[in-house]
Amino acid sequence: MDEKLQRLIEGLNKDMNAELNTIVRYIRHAAVLKGIAGHEVRELLKKEVMDEVKHAIYLADKIVALGGKPKVELEVPADVEDWQAVLRDALKYELEAIAGYRERAQQAEEVGEIGLKATLEMFAEDETRHKEEIERLLG
């Protein structure tokens, strides 16, 4: 397998795991939040989980289509229960996701995967929207 393609597949696995870990983190954090502010954050996290699921499924399928295998590496989410700490935690990972998708889009273009590049750019746009919603809630 071409070295650039191998690096792309490794990166897509990293991105897929970031999405899977975000799903687990958002479900855990949404479950423990309380109060009025906590309720609003809960609703945001529950809504965003569905976008993350779609991203993870697409990435897993694309890894296989490119000749790789999805490698799942789950992490235990941080034990935070304060709504502001939850949002700061989420913001950190959204920024990492945006950077990852931008890098992966460039790698996809380098190996001629123009459709994948377009989809990854769309995912970066989704994550940017998530980031902006989080920043708005943090004030």
Which CATH number fits the domain that encloses residue 43? 1.20.1260.10
53-60: average pLDDT: 98
Which pLDDT score is estimated for 37? 86
Structural domain for 114, as ranges? 3-69+76-138
The residue that leads in pLDDT, 1 or 11, is 11
Query: Lowest-confidence range among 45-49, 58-62, 94-98, 117-121?
Result: 45-49
pLDDT, tens digit, 9 for 90 and up, residues 115-129:
999 999 999 999 999
The residue that leads in pLDDT, 38 or 105, is 105
| Runs of H (alpha helix) within the chain | 3-32, 35-65, 83-110, 114-138
User: Is the model's pLDDT at 1 over the cut of 90?
Assistant: no
CA atoms within 13 A on the CB side of 53: 9
Question: 94-103 contacts: CB < 8 A, separation 24 or more?
Answer: 94/127, 94/130, 94/131, 94/134, 95/131, 96/18, 97/15, 97/18, 97/19, 97/22, 97/123, 97/124, 97/127, 98/124, 98/127, 98/128, 98/131, 100/11, 100/14, 100/15, 100/18, 101/15, 101/127, 103/11
pTM: 0.94
Residue 81 pLDDT class (50, 70, 90 cuts):
confident
User: In total, how many domains does the chain have?
Assistant: 1
Which pLDDT score is estimated for 80? 87
Which pLDDT score is estimated for 87? 95
